A and B are shown apart, each in its own frame.
Chain A
Amino acid sequence: MDAHTALDAVLDPELDEPITDLGFVKSLDVDGGRVTVHLRLPTSFCAPNFAYLMASDAKDVLTALPWTSEVIVELDDHHDSDLINRGLAADAGYRGTFGHEADEDLEELRLTFRRKAHQAAMERALTVLLRADEHVDLHGVTLADLPEVPASAALLRRRAALGLPAEPSSPVLVDHDGTPFPREEIPLRLRFARSVRISIEGNSHFCRGLLRTRYPESTVEVPA
């Protein structure tokens, strides 16, 4: 697998999109087994924990490739660039990089955003179904009932990331543990999932727009 394809697996946790699509990969140089990546973000005040998460994920996926011998990941133009780049070079880990400011586990943050991404994907998939038949009984909808569209495939990926069951008979409208919502809560839960989806999409508009403003040469197209 080439380095760019490997980086497709690194997601912005908040936007739930690959850093390659978002234009966060500024440059990628491959020299034999040596890979050098420069990342950039929409503002120098992007949350440093998210910045670290993406940069260290990038280093991990590239290091895991069988043909790489040395991987250098650097974050440019961030208010914590020096700190993060030193931490990455030394493989110091999140706590090793940020010291006393990083008391909590980064995995907890990652999990929070995986759960949000799952809710948003669930709303998208169910909306496809509702548009086709507004009287569908959402309480009984299972994975087997979902049409073969990208939104359904995306939901399966988000479920897999949370370890939720993938059997065709599994219910779709579930919480992050896979527990179906009581029938009477369905309108509220779907409504909440919608606001999660709007929130994530809005952040994506914002970040893509700011990146283009900050780096006008950025060629990443903004989807309408």
Chain B
Amino acid sequence: MYRKDDETYFIVDAHVALWDARPENQRNIHGKQFIDCFYDYHRNLSPESEVWPYEDYLYQGGERLMRDLFENGYVDHAIFQPAHLGAFYENGFGQTEEAFALTQQHPGKLTYNHFFDPRFEQAGIDQLRRDAERFGLKGVKLYTAEWQGDSRGYKLDDKWTYKYFEACQELGIKNIHVHKGPTIRPLDRDAFDVADVDHAATDFTDLNFVVEHCGLPRLEDFCWIATQEPNVHAGLAVAIPFIHTRPKYFAQIIGELLYWLDEDRIQFSSDYALWTPKWLIERFVDFQIPEDLPEYAPLTVEQKKKILGLNAAAMYDIPVPAELQLAPVEPQAVSVA
């Protein structure tokens, strides 16, 4: 939790990773390029004091993760959203065993979400069933631009993806996190296109679709869809660090999200280890819409509390101490005739 000016915020970091991008785990040049690209994001958008050496960036391990998130970072609960990237890394990018073991050691603090790839068809569904049981899955992270053999991506409205969603319904995996950020593939089908989220959200209304990176670089397409689909949510990963380098742009993003969605459907994410949560939380609590953007209303403390933790806590049934919850809205008195 984070305290500032007599207010206390319950923090859920809804998108973190325990990755291994060290050279011995890189399968090919793409593995190096991928982590180098992440490192450029990190260097470009972080305050100078928060920039890590390259070596630290390749791998953090569980101990450092716990320290960065929970000791230094004010986080009360964090959710792993792993990307497999088996075409780039020998043992995958996200470290399943290590991350899951960590959640076993710290059950109140960490939730492990896993991934699936619909291109494995029935065998992948069978695997998903085993994974759901072993990990107690409440959510999955989908990286639709993942390379797989000759294929450089898939869509959420592909026939097999739908079969996986049906399995998710049955297995109680309610939260589908979709990477729709700066990405790489598929080639001929615009990989940033969020239209497939629209189709899936319409057809699976009992699943939550959290669009990570809130559709950037297609913010407007995302907003248009989210306005119409109440089960579509925005993850702030990669958007929130603009609070430092481009605060006015960040104000516009959060202003648009609050306009098109609402304050209940936006989730804080540091995207650790792309960034550490500490400075992002501090800056967000201090943040206000600048005066030269009068088209947006000022952010309220309640909105910040929801975004920083209460929204994701509700989605994942994470217990929130009573004193950190928002005061219940008093129902309007009903006049008795």
Q: Which A positions have Cβ atoms within 8 angstroms of B?
A: 14, 42-45, 47-49, 79, 98, 100-104, 109, 112, 116, 191-192, 194-196, 198-199, 201-203, 205-206, 209-210, 212-214
How many interface residues does B have (CB within 8 Å)?
A: 41
- Measured in the bound complex, the distance between the Cα atoms of B252 and A202 in whole Å is 9
**Looking at the complex, which one of B29, B40, B183, B242 makes contact with A79 (CB distance below 8 Å)?**
B29
* Contact B33 A210, beta carbon cutoff 8 Å: no
**Looking at the complex, which one of B34, B150, B182 makes contact with A206 (CB distance below 8 Å)?**
B182
How far apart are A212's CB and chain B's nearest CB, in angstroms?
8
Most buried by A among B45, B187, B217, B295: B187
**Contact stretch, chosen from B130-138, B204-212, B219-227:** B219-227
Residue contacts A-B, CB under 8 angstroms, 28 given? A14-B217, A44-B36, A44-B37, A45-B182, A49-B188, A100-B150, A101-B185, A101-B186, A194-B295, A195-B220, A196-B220, A198-B219, A198-B249, A198-B252, A199-B217, A199-B218, A202-B217, A202-B246, A202-B252, A205-B245, A205-B249, A206-B182, A209-B44, A209-B45, A210-B41, A210-B44, A213-B40, A213-B44
Which chain B residue has the least Cβ–Cβ distance from A106?
B188
**Assuming A205-B249, A210-B44, A213-B43, is B188 touching A101 (CB within 8 A)?**
yes
Which chain B residue has the least Cβ–Cβ distance from A45?
B184
Contact with A along B22-57 (1 / 0, CB 8 A): 000000011001101100110111000000000000
Which residues of B have CB within 8 Å of A101? 152, 185-188
**Assuming A195-B256, A198-B249, A199-B218, is B33 touching A44 (CB within 8 A)?**
yes
Which residues of B have CB within 8 Å of A192? 220, 223-224
**Assuming A195-B223, A205-B246, is B190 touching A112 (CB within 8 A)?**
yes
* Contact A98 B219, beta carbon cutoff 8 Å: no
Main SS of chain B's interface residues? helix
Q: Is B106 an interface residue (CB 8 A)?
A: no
How far apart are A109's CB and chain B's nearest CB, in angstroms?
7
Contact with A along B259-295 (1 / 0, CB 8 A): 1100000000000000000000000000000000001
Q: Is B78 an interface residue (CB 8 A)?
A: no
- Going nearest first, the 6 A-B pairs with the smallest beta carbon separation are A195-B220, A44-B33, A199-B219, A101-B187, A213-B44, A104-B188
Q: Is B189 an interface residue (CB 8 A)?
A: yes
How far apart are A200's CB and chain B's nearest CB, in angstroms?
8
Which residues of A have CB within 8 Å of B220? 116, 192, 195-196, 198-199
Q: Is B308 an interface residue (CB 8 A)?
A: no
* Contact B37 A43, beta carbon cutoff 8 Å: yes
Which residues of A have CB within 8 Å of B223? 192, 195
- Measured in the bound complex, the distance between the Cα atoms of B14 and A48 in whole Å is 30
* Contact A45 B249, beta carbon cutoff 8 Å: no
- Measured in the bound complex, the distance between the Cα atoms of B221 and A116 in whole Å is 10
How far apart are A54's CB and chain B's nearest CB, in angstroms?
15
Q: Is B99 an interface residue (CB 8 A)?
A: no
* Contact A203 B217, beta carbon cutoff 8 Å: yes
Which residues of B have CB within 8 Å of A14? 217
- Measured in the bound complex, the distance between the Cα atoms of B44 and A212 in whole Å is 8
- Measured in the bound complex, the distance between the Cα atoms of B223 and A8 in whole Å is 32
Contact with A along B160-198 (1 / 0, CB 8 A): 000000000000000000000011111111111000000
- Measured in the bound complex, the distance between the Cα atoms of B253 and A148 in whole Å is 30
**Assuming A14-B217, A206-B182, is B187 touching A48 (CB within 8 A)?**
yes
Which chain A residue has the least Cβ–Cβ distance from B218?
A199
- Measured in the bound complex, the distance between the Cα atoms of B216 and A26 in whole Å is 27
- Measured in the bound complex, the distance between the Cα atoms of B259 and A44 in whole Å is 34
- Measured in the bound complex, the distance between the Cα atoms of B37 and A181 in whole Å is 41
- Measured in the bound complex, the distance between the Cα atoms of B184 and A101 in whole Å is 13
Sample of 20 more A-B contacts, CB < 8 Å, known A206-B217, A214-B40: A43-B182, A44-B33, A47-B190, A47-B191, A79-B184, A100-B150, A101-B152, A101-B185, A104-B188, A191-B259, A196-B220, A198-B253, A198-B256, A199-B216, A199-B218, A202-B252, A205-B245, A206-B182, A209-B245, A213-B43
Which residues of B have CB within 8 Å of A194? 256, 295
- Measured in the bound complex, the distance between the Cα atoms of B218 and A203 in whole Å is 9
- Measured in the bound complex, the distance between the Cα atoms of B55 and A55 in whole Å is 34
- Measured in the bound complex, the distance between the Cα atoms of B259 and A103 in whole Å is 37
* Contact A49 B43, beta carbon cutoff 8 Å: no
Which chain B residue has the least Cβ–Cβ distance from A100?
B150
Which residues of B have CB within 8 Å of A44? 33, 36-37
